[in-house]
Amino acid sequence: MVILAIGGVGKPVRTLGPGEDDTWVTVEQFERVLDTVAGREDVGLTFDDGNSSDVEIALPRLVERDLTAEFFPLAGRIGQRGFVDADGLRELADAGMSIGSHGWEHRDWRRLDGRHARRELETAPKLLADLSGAQVRSYAPPFGAYDRRVLSRLRHSGATRVYTTEGGAASRDGLLRPRIKVRHDVDQQWIDGVLGDREGLYRRAGRFVTRVAKLAHF
């Protein structure tokens, strides 16, 4: 299957970090993606960073199309301007969406000292679980950055899915789940190329990923 990674939708209501605007799409672009994905079980949807557009824009449009998605907020930004708050998190969970962890403050998990490792990999998922009322078993390391040590820590804390941004096809049962980033310039041609038809989906996904393999904010 192919798993898409989405950042923010609509007009950002906060100042974006460097390179972050690459991960924002318009409402129209977003709806095009959803309309293509609706009814497809071979496509997964994920949202990173916990932007307030997750609840305000994405949620109603997902529900409308009978779609579910996994959300990966930053625990340390919950309730800050432009980010999902505690009520929003609960709203996502109550609507049948899954909540995973993107950590506390968007750090590279390969480079954490003891104190930060606890906060990113233990405190963050615990807070997200407390707020959403569901266990956190999925993780999306910021920047898609991980190594063996990160994976072993996550596995140790009960992770069943670790989402990366390497692109390509994902198997339904593996721990590592590669994702394809949806970028600010997404258009119907891109959508058709990545999701157009089920046959050749894997091959196509791989090709598109090599074309867009530059470092992004995720």
Residue (65 or 110) nearer to Zn ion, CB = 110
Interface with Zn ion, residue 20, by CB under 5 A = no
- Identify which range of 91-99, 135-143, 183-191, 195-203 contacts Zn ion by CB under 5 A: 135-143
Is residue 27 packed enough to be buried (19+ CB in 10 Å), middle (13-18) or exposed (0-12)?
Answer: middle
Give me the least distance between CB of 22 and Zn ion, in Å please: 11
Minimum Å distance from CB 67 to Zn ion?
Answer: 21
d(CA 39, CA 158): 31
CA distances from 205 to 71, 87, 181 (A): 22, 36, 11
For residue 25, which phi and psi values (nearest 5 degrees)? -120, 160
Distance from C-alpha of 5 to C-alpha of 46, rounded to nearest angstrom:
5
Q: Which listed residue (3, 29, 34, 48) binds Zn ion by CB under 5 A?
A: 48
Site membership for Zn ion, residue 54 (CB under 5 A) = no
- SS3 category, 50: coil
CA 40 to chain centre: 18
User: Which two structure tokens, joined as six digits, stand for 162?
Assistant: 């670790």
Options 49, 54, 70, 120; binder of Zn ion; rule CB under 5 A = 49
* Three-class SS state of 103: coil
- Does 120 bind Zn ion (CB under 5 A)? Our answer is no
Part of the chain binding Zn ion (CB under 5 A), chosen from 84-92, 139-147, 177-185, 201-209: 139-147
Q: Which is nearer to Zn ion, 179 or 204 (CB)?
A: 179
> Which CB sits closer to Zn ion, 36 or 105?
105
Encoded tokens for 206: 């791989």
Residue 153 CB, nearest approach to Zn ion (Å):
19
Residue with Cβ nearer Zn ion (12 or 193): 12
Q: State which residue, 30 or 47, has the beta carbon closest to Zn ion.
A: 47
Residues in the chain: 218
Residues near Zn ion, by CB under 5 A: 48-49, 142, 218
